[in-house]
Amino acid sequence: MTGTLYITGDAAADNLLNTDANALLLGMLLDQQVPMEWAFAGPSTLKERLGHLDPGKIAAMPEDDFVSICCEKPAIHRFPGSMGKRIHQVCAVVADQYDGDAANLWTGVDSGKELFRRLKALPGYGDEKSKIFVAILGKTQGVAPEGWRNAAGKFGDDVPRSVADITDEASLGRVRDWKKAQKAAKKDKQDRPLTD
């Protein structure tokens, strides 16, 4: 796996996302309530602190010990305690169901629908996050099972609406500009009206 995602502002952290399926899965998990760059840099920070991103080893750690590592300054997330627990839970699923390798979530999957189903079954992966991750795989990682664009919903189109559309500095700017325009138009990432 060697992808083209460009997001953190740090070449080494981006390379980790593009070559390590576990890092990519955890980066997307962290992508909520913080800037995308911070979220997707989280796996690199964790790898520096742990020396690995092995889901089996993480799942085997006492949850409180792992959360403490997530809370060290600088914290991996605005809410490092709750997100640390979520990472621990996802790693347990990857270790138990996918032989400790997130790539097994999508390797050999024959449909976008099945890929979406597997992602949505993960702790912390709701509907939108799962769709965006399907789009990341299809657009930047060369993982494009049949029907992936349909499974990704709006995130599978060519509008620069999410991290899945960022492969260089210019596309990062386009996504930021699009998000600002959506906010001004009171619409969400899927073009739905925002509710108060």
pLDDT digits (tens, 9 = 90+) for 128-141: 999 999 999 999 99
pLDDT tens-digit map of 93-122: 999 999 999 999 999 999 999 999 999 999
Tokens of 77: 């997330």
DSSP string, 104-131: GGTTT---HHHHHHHHHTSTT--HHHHH
Catalogue the long-range contacts made by 85-89 (C-beta closer than 8 Å, 24 or more residues apart).
86/29, 86/123, 86/124, 87/26, 87/29, 87/30, 87/46, 87/58, 88/58, 88/59, 88/61, 88/63, 89/123, 89/124
How far apart, in Å, do the first and last CA atoms of the chain sit? Answer: 41
Can you give the residue ranges of every domain in the chain? 11-184
Of 16 and 181, the structure prediction assigns the larger pLDDT to 16
**Residues paired with 135 in a beta bridge:** none
When the pLDDT of each residue in the chain is averaged and rounded to a whole number, the result is: 95
Instruction: Using the predicted structure, report yes or no on whether residue 1 has a pLDDT greater than 80.
Output: no
| pLDDT on residue 195 | 75
The predicted model scores a pTM of 0.94
pLDDT band, residue 196 (cuts 50/70/90): low
Architecture of domain 11-184: Orthogonal Bundle (1.10)
Read off the pLDDT of each residue in 47-66 and give the average, rounded to a whole number: 98
Read off the pLDDT of each residue in 176-188 and give the average, rounded to a whole number: 88
pLDDT band, residue 189 (cuts 50/70/90): confident
